[in-house]
Structure 1
Amino acid sequence: MTTNDYQKFIQKSPTQRLTRQILALFPNSKVTQPMSQYALGNSTAINEKSYQQISSMKDMQRFLNTPNTLTNTQRLARIRKILKNHGYTGNKLNDQYEIGIVIRNFNLKHPYDTNDLLQGLVIAKK
């Protein structure tokens, strides 16, 4: 899947409502498919040296990949809180970032999960 294909999927899929809400917090940023693969733990998806900063926020990954029964509204509130704890507030949200995001439309992990990351959010600055 190309970045354009992935962006179209996020824009059009009813399963990506929470993803769109998260991305709306970063109005001047763009999501890319390679960075989204990186968010899932694929360290070879990007050249890390070409970025000034990559924020993968372990507490964010832990939250996204812990079974829960929260609504999307509650999940968004928790994500905002984690972002705030990492300094992503006010003007910093308006900076230009490359975002990697994979949010699936489920609240509980599949019972046969192999402990691979199934969801992720990474914020990078070139």
Structure 2
Amino acid sequence: MGALIILSLVVGVTMMTLNAKADSGYTVVKKIVGNNPNSAYHLTNKSKNVYLWNSQHTKVKANLKHYKNYSWRYYDQSVILSHNSKKSVYYYVQGITPNGNEGSKLQGIIWHGHLTPGVNPNYKQLNNINYRYFNTDTEYLNYIKKSPSQKLTREVLKLFPNTQLSIKLTKAANGASPWAWSSPTVDGYKNILEFPTVQRYFNKRFYKPSISDNTRFKLIKDGLDKSYSQTKRSALNQYQIGIYYYNNPHRLIDDEAPGFTIAVPN
């Protein structure tokens, strides 16, 4: 079993032919499995009937027009179905709720043409979406500007007015890894700046989860002012900033450390 997993990772994409015939007249021709589960899609058209099916395309599990503010996690698994001699590609997806819950019971297959890459763009209705699902700086910045959960992030970015937000750096740094504070390294970046005295205030699991974002921001700003003045921060125009924050401590997982990292791309 272990050898098969390793082989799958080396090859990248594994295909296996299935011969299960669906009662609805659809035949499962081929299943395609990749190894990149961290991508999100949203509906191309939110007003039309779009159906989520079980894996054999025999039962409708949900009409997705009733879930307009969901995003859809794509597990890099798809299936080719044949119907009336025509073949179609369906994606295996799972719902990501507007509040960032990735454990939604809504999961199944959907015709790929109903989906557009990226998180649902109705950012005003979204909270605590995992940064891994954003593809571009513009998408991530729009989410930060509009999401109710990102008030603290917006205020911290103002402290670095000439530093460009980077989703690439956010992903590369995985937030602000506490184990790297003593000797920070981030692949693809140099001149890394970490601020360990203020990073802890980002993490609601480890620092006073009940305090408000306003109080949390004041602690961050006061700490930065003591260690790295606003004049210095404003001069970081050659730098990029990776940052993320969950205002719900129950959304955090063990290998994530909310905070920010500032660095120059190589």
Q: TM-score, normalised by structure 1?
A: 0.77
Query: Which structure has the higher relative contact order (CA within 8 Å, separation 6+)?
Result: 1
Question: Is 2:222 the partner of 1:81?
Answer: yes
Q: Is 5-14 or 78-87 further displaced after alignment?
A: 78-87
Contact 1:54 / 1:125 at 8 angstroms: preserved in 2?
Answer: yes
Aligned residue in 2 for 1:10: 144
Question: Is 2:245 the partner of 1:103?
Answer: yes
Question: Is 2:264 the partner of 1:122?
Answer: no
Gaps of 5+ in 1: none
* 1:113, distance to aligned residue in structure 2 (A): 5.6
Equivalent position amino acid for 1:103 in 2: Y
**Tell me, what secondary structure is at the counterpart of 2:261?**
strand
**Tell me, what secondary structure is at the counterpart of 2:231?**
helix
**Tell me, what secondary structure is at the counterpart of 2:152?**
helix
How many residue pairs get aligned? The number is 119
**Tell me, what secondary structure is at the counterpart of 1:99?**
strand
- CA separation of 1:23 and 1:45: change in aligned 2, threshold 3 A: same
Q: Distance in 2 between matches of 1:86 and 1:124?
A: 17
Higher helix share: 1
Q: Distance in 2 between matches of 1:55 and 1:44?
A: 10
Report the identity percentage.
29
Q: Which has the larger radius of gyration?
A: 2
Gaps of 5+ in 2: 1-133, 178-183
- CA separation of 1:39 and 1:61: change in aligned 2, threshold 3 A: farther
- Deviations for 1:85-121, whole angstroms, at most 9, x for unmatched residues? 332x131121213111101123xx32x9653224121
Aligned residue in 1 for 2:169: 35
Q: Distance in 2 between matches of 1:85 and 1:115?
A: 30
- CA separation of 1:27 and 1:116: change in aligned 2, threshold 3 A: same
Contact 1:18 / 1:72 at 8 angstroms: preserved in 2?
Answer: yes
- CA separation of 1:31 and 1:115: change in aligned 2, threshold 3 A: same
- Deviations for 1:40-72, whole angstroms, at most 9, x for unmatched residues? 24x997413xx3x21122333333222411111
RMSD: 2.7
Higher strand share: 2
